[in-house]
Chains A and B, each alone.
Chain A
Amino acid sequence: MNLLLEWTSAFFLLAGGFLCITGGVGLLRMPDFFSRVHAAGVTETLAAPLLLCGLMLQMEWSLDLVKVFMILVFVLATNPTATQAMAKATLTGGQKPLVTGNDAAKGDSPSNS
């Protein structure tokens, strides 16, 4: 049982770390603000619960476990909200999403999806 917990925690931590780095690389290398929001928001929303679940599996039963669970719920609730608010503020502020030539020829308003 202990070994199973340890291996599951290690898997969660490694997957969360990999997703973290993926989000960072996407944040740095994507060409456009909206794709950067996508890269950062999607990976953060999955990486934070994975890392915190891996941390929870390593702790014993105490109040700290409940606190980590509260952090998990809070991050899971606020992270998509903040991402959506940022994208909406950018769109209202006058920035247009970068589209390719094929998409631009099809429709003139790609931002209303």
Chain B
Amino acid sequence: MLTAAIIAILVTMILALVRAFLGPTEYDRMLAANSFGTKTVLLIALGGHALSWHSYLDVALLYAMVNFVGTIAVMRFFENSKQDGKEGSGGAS
């Protein structure tokens, strides 16, 4: 069952990568990157247990934290840059 879950996670990562390549806006790419990062955490946790690695859970925990902070930081950057650049469409909301 671990193998089936790992295959499902890999398929989802491929779908997220396709969305990251296709994405019309940068928000789509960032959403796909965040989804990819979460799936990477799950893949490290499940795959490390299946292959009996050493101290893989520390890597997974650290990856989750870096993924969250990176997503928030990049979203902050996009938010501010868009507001400064296009005042006509973004300032009202």
Listed in ascending order, the chain A residues whose CB lies under 8 Å from chain B are 9-10, 13-14, 16-18, 20-21, 23-25, 27-28, 33, 36-37, 40, 44, 47-48, 51-52, 54-55, 58-59, 64, 67-68, 70-71, 74-75, 78-79, 81-82, 85-86, 88-95, 111
CB distance from A109 to the nearest CB of B (A): 9
Taking A13-B2, A52-B45, A86-B30 as known contacts, 13 extra A-B pairs with beta carbons closer than 8 A to each other, sorted by chain A number, are A13-B5, A14-B5, A20-B12, A27-B15, A51-B45, A67-B61, A81-B72, A88-B79, A93-B27, A93-B78, A93-B82, A93-B83, A94-B82
| Chain A residues within 8 Å of B90, by CB | 92-94
A18-B8, A21-B12 known; A85 vs B71 contact (CB < 8 Å): yes
Interface size on B, residues (CB 8 A): 49
For the complex, what is the distance from the CA of A40 to the CA of B14, rounded to whole Å?
14
Q: Give residues 3-28 of B contacting A (CB, 8 Å).
A: 4-5, 7-9, 11-16, 18-19, 25, 27-28
Question: Are the C-beta atoms of A78 and B5 separated by less than 8 Å?
Answer: no
Smallest CB-CB separation from B76: which chain A residue?
Answer: A89
Q: Which residues of B contact A36 (CB under 8 A)?
A: 19, 28, 31
The answer to whether A82 touches B27 (Cβ under 8 A) is no
CA distance A16 to B38 in the complex (A): 13
Question: Nearest residue in A to B61 (C-beta to C-beta)?
Answer: A71
Asked if A28 and B19 sit within 8 Å, CB to CB, the answer is yes
Is A74 in contact with B65, judged by CB distance below 8 angstroms?
yes
Interface contact A85-B75, CB-CB below 8 Å: yes
| B residues whose Cβ falls under 8 Å from a Cβ of A | 1-2, 4-5, 7-9, 11-16, 18-19, 25, 27-28, 30-32, 34-35, 38-39, 41-42, 45-46, 49, 57-58, 60-61, 64-65, 68, 71-72, 75-76, 78-79, 82-83, 86, 89-90, 93
When chains A and B are docked, how far (Å) is the Cα of A46 from the Cα of B89? 35
A25, B42: Cα distance in complex, Å:
18
